[in-house]
Structure formats: structure tokens, C-alpha cells
Amino acid sequence: GVGVFCLVFIILSGPFILKYMQVQRSYGISRDYGEYVLYSAHLTDYLFTTHYHSLISTLSPVVKWNNFNMHRLGEAGGFPGIVLLSLSVIGLFIYSRNSSSLNLKLPFSFNHILFLTLTVCGLIFSLGPRLNANGTYLAIPLPYEIILRYNPLVEPIRATARWSFIFYFGLVYFACIGLQKINKRTKSNLVISLLSIVFLLEIVPTNKISESKNYYPEVYKTIEGLCQSRSVLLEYPMSQFNKEANILTNLTYRTQILLASVNHKCKVVNGYSGYIPKQYQDYEDKLLTSVENNDRSKFLTLLDSKEVSVIKLNKKSL
């Protein structure tokens, strides 16, 4: 089973990992260690429901509790929910009771140990290489520090908080076992129905909105006619500089430019790859400086250095 899993992983992910490593070598890129810390979950994240808005999370006592959450930057984990956590505890142990005590036993079956390991690892990995708690950097080394140092496969995973999906995945497994145990009891249908209602009330978001964007406005139809096999397009500015710009809008801006290039076929100077190579940043800075200084000669020299033949001016992003 493990061999099949590894084979499937290599077949599906191998080409992406290979290309990633080629880009990394080409640009001499090394990830800033601070990014792993910034985008890791804080230990206290799993006590708060700040990052989703359900009916229960909008109740006054819960809102007041969430106000104690001081983790405001980067990525975060989140409380898995009362129902999921309770069912997981029920499913994790074997319970037996006599007249004087309640006994807990941990089964040692392969599946039980496997998913318990995944649950623990998902939680620990999500905390990143150094411990943070409630917005405070505690700097205590964690096991992920060793993995990050000696396993190059995890180097691209900047947002270590996303390892939490393995934690939740493990909880779901044990929650299913917990449901099976409840189903064997009398009045199980009533209990499961009540649990389902509570689960929906605490998990289903109430404020989800959808959004559509036009990644290919009419101007690109004109650009299509200008794009030959070796044409290079520069969209200016390379990053948004309007007052409303932030990390998310800039990411959207750059990725929409890349998406449009699939249709118009021009090669583009702009882009985003998870990394911003130093050469890319230097070029953007020099281009911006030449515009601010009204240095036409320098501006044209910079365009020639990238063999730019088409420029698209995005006024709303200036």
C-alpha cells in the first residue's frame, strides 16, 4: 500500500517538483526563514472560531471569546468544532466501566495508530518550525525545524499552517468511528440528528459571498493582433500602487495577467511564481524609478533589455 502511494505521488507530483527545483536553481532562490514562522499556525488558533462565521460563532459569548485572539497576521488554524472534536474523542478510545471507575484504552490496530499519527503530525507541522501563541513569537524550536532543515521536499510549503488539513482529516476518521459507536446505542437516530443540527449551526458559514472577475477585457483582443511568436508584453505597473492595493489584490492582479497570456499568446514580463526573484524586483524598481524621474532613455533601455514590443498601461493600478 505504501509503495503504491509513493508511486502515485511521484507520477503526479514529480514533474512539478522537478520544474520547481529547476527554477530555484536558475534564480539562486532561498526562502526567507521568517516566512515559515509568519505563515504558521499559532497554538491558540485551535481555541478560536475567528476565521469562519457560522450561527454559533456569531453568538455574543463566542464573539467575546474570539476577541481574545491576538493572531492577526499570516495564516492560521481554527477550532475544529464541538461535534467533530467530541466524536473524535469517542472514536479514539475504547471505554469500559465498572462499579468504581471508568477505563480508557487506546486500540493498537494499524488504522488507529496510522490516523492518530497523522492527526498529531498535522497539528505539530501546522505550528511551523518555531512556536507562536496568540500573536506572540515564543521562538521555541519544534520538530518541523528538523524536517525543514533536512527534507528539501517541504521547502516550497511556505504556509505551514496548511498542514492542519491532515489534523482535521485525522479527526474526521475518528469522528466516523465515534458515530459508529453511537449508532449501536438506543435512540441513536435522535442523538445523531441532534449532533448533525449542532454541526451545521457551528460549521456552515452564514456570510459566504461569491465573486466573478473578467480576466480578459476587450483590450486583450487588440493585443492578440500584436502578439507574434516572439512578442513580449509588459503590463505597467508590474505591481499595484493604488490606495486600495494589498497583498491579496496584488496577487490577483499578477495572476490575472498570467491567465490572460494563455489566450493572447504574448510572452509577459509580469508574473508571480510564489517567489519574487531578486532580478525581477530589481527590474521593477528601476522601471518605477525611470518613470518617476521622467527618464525616457532609461525607460526605453529597460524595455529593450527584456525585448518588450507591447506595453499595456493599467491606469487603475497606478
Q: For 62-117, give the DSSP string.
A: HHHHHTT----SS-------HHHHHHHHHHHSEEEE-SS-EEEE----HHHHHHHH
Q: How far apart are CA 144 and CA 157, in angstroms?
A: 12
Predicted local confidence at residue 198, as pLDDT: 93
Q: What are the cell numbers at 50?
A: 475567528
Predicted local confidence at residue 287, as pLDDT: 93
Q: How does DSSP classify residue 317?
A: G
Predicted local confidence at residue 1, as pLDDT: 60
Predicted local confidence at residue 66, as pLDDT: 93
Predicted local confidence at residue 22, as pLDDT: 85
Predicted local confidence at residue 2, as pLDDT: 66
For the chain, residues with pLDDT lower than 70 are: 1-2, 273
Q: How far apart are CA 244 and CA 236, in angstroms?
A: 17
Predicted local confidence at residue 141, as pLDDT: 94
